[in-house]
Amino acid sequence: MTQQGSKMNNAGGNSENSEEVLYNNEHARVTRRTLPEGGGTVIVKETLSVPAARKLVQEARMLARVAHVEGVVKLADVPPQPKTLVFKDEG
């Protein structure tokens, strides 16, 4: 099932650390997260299955190879999290 546009706040209810579900199915969840202290927003792609996790590793390698190409999504400069890719939110 795909779920789009759902907004969630963190456990404390602070809207500064909210996230919006952009896409969700049995393999992956994509959210827009607001970073703390005015850090802007990022797009987080989280894998939910083993095959998707393998693809995520390949995707990260390919994105690193084409990082210099204009128009290609850029990985955000944030600490890595298991089974996720974090992108700069350009839009």
pLDDT at 91: 74
pLDDT at 11: 37
Question: Is the full-model pTM beyond 0.75?
Answer: yes
Amino acid identity at 73 = V
pLDDT at 14: 46
Distance CA 2, CA 77 (A): 28
Answer whether 21's CB lies under 8 Å from 31's CB.
yes
pLDDT at 5: 57
pLDDT along the chain (91 residues), means of 10: 51 61 96 89 94 89 94 90 92 74
